[in-house]
Amino acid sequence: MFDLEDYVEAETALAVVATAVILSPRARRLVRRGLVYGLAGVLAAVEAGRSAIRGAQQGFGAAVTRVRATSQVSPN
């Protein structure tokens, strides 16, 4: 009649989880909160990366400017 393997298959487990998420307000709230926090984390990481790149570019530009300025000064 019922076989344990029917409940262990990945497709069955996925269907059970999807049904629980769809029907349970608490599960929907948890999934929504997880998505929001996950997206916020990704956005924060991207912004931190962009800031690091901007800082590195500005630091490199300042270093190049200093090198050019010191190499153009003629010794007296």
The pTM (predicted TM-score) of the whole model is: 0.55
Residue 11 domain flag:
no
Is the model's pLDDT at 74 over the cut of 60? no
Q: Please answer whether residues 50 and 42 qualify as being in contact, where contact means their C-beta atoms are separated by less than 8 angstroms.
A: no
Residue 7 domain flag:
no
Tally of structural domains, the chain: 1
Its domain, for residue 63, covers: 25-71
Element (H, E) at 75: none
Total residue count of the chain as it appears in this document: 76
What does the pLDDT look like over 1-13, one tens digit per residue?
566 666 678 888 8
Q: Read off the pLDDT band of 76 (50, 70, 90).
A: low
Residue 10 domain flag:
no
Q: Please answer whether residues 33 and 39 qualify as being in contact, where contact means their C-beta atoms are separated by less than 8 angstroms.
A: no
What does the pLDDT look like over 26-56, one tens digit per residue?
988 998 999 999 999 999 999 999 999 998 8
Residue 3 domain flag:
no
Q: Read off the pLDDT band of 64 (50, 70, 90).
A: confident
